[in-house]
Amino acid sequence: MADEKKTQDSASLEGKKPILLIGIAGLNMIAMIMVVFVLWNSHKAEKAKPKLADVVEGVHNEDVNRDPAAINKDDVVGKLIPMETFLVNLAGTRGGKLVKIDFELEVENNEVMAEIEKRKPQIRDKVIILLSSKSHDYMSSKEGKLELRSEIKDVINEFLVSGKIKNIYFTNLVVN
């Protein structure tokens, strides 16, 4: 009796094995088709992305076709003159707090550049005096830094004869 039951179980399993194998093979085929589809779509999307040469050519064409009168003069950066590093004690700290600052002066023409080169010692003197009058709290705030930029520009423009400074760009500013 036990032998008959084993034979029936093995016969029913043998009948289910091909169906199970066909099911697994079908699922495998579906998975492979999905992988191929995903790879094909990603390849198609990669080809559709603009290449560097396309972007450069587009920007070049845009620049060539731009009307010169439409260029905003305020957006064009003039000539830049780097200033030497300033390391100054801040006011009210008895040498305990320092500011280290590097900046560049933006000018409009070569005459102003030549004058600034001749007057660098005067400019350094005025900027050092201005910086040493500022407090640590003032120099640590965003508003203070923006105001300082304007003050430096005004102090230097006071004694320039052949032109004016358009802007000042901080390239390094450390308050310690």
pLDDT digits (tens, 9 = 90+) for 42-69: 999 988 888 888 888 888 787 777 776 6
Helices 110-118, 120-132: crossing angle, 10 deg rounding: 70
Same domain for 132 and 99, yes or no, is yes
Closest CA to 155 of 112, 111, 122: 122
135 with 160, same domain? yes
Ramachandran assignment for 15, one of left (phi > 0), alpha (psi -120 to 50 degrees), beta (any other): alpha
- Please give the residue range of the domain that contains residue 33: 2-70
Query: Are 80 and 24 members of one domain?
Result: no
Number of domains comprising the chain: 2
- Residues 94 and 46 occupy one common structural domain: no
Answer whether 83's CB lies under 8 Å from 106's CB: no
pLDDT interval class at 17 (50, 70, 90)? confident
Same domain, 125 and 144: yes
Identify whether residues 104 and 148 lie together within a single domain: yes
Query: 25, 53, 70: which is the final residue of a domain?
Result: 70
Query: Does 106 share its domain with 163?
Result: yes
Local structure of 69: helix, strand or coil = helix
pLDDT tens for 106-136 read 998 899 999 999 999 999 999 999 999 999 9
% the chain with pLDDT above 70: 85
Last residue of a domain, one of 23, 38, 70: 70
Tell me: do 97 and 64 sit in the same domain.
Answer: no
35 and 57 in a common domain: yes
Domain shared by 94 and 9, yes or no: no
Contact of 149 with 170, CB cutoff 8 Å:
yes
Looking at the structure, tell me whether residues 65 and 143 fall in a common domain. Answer: no
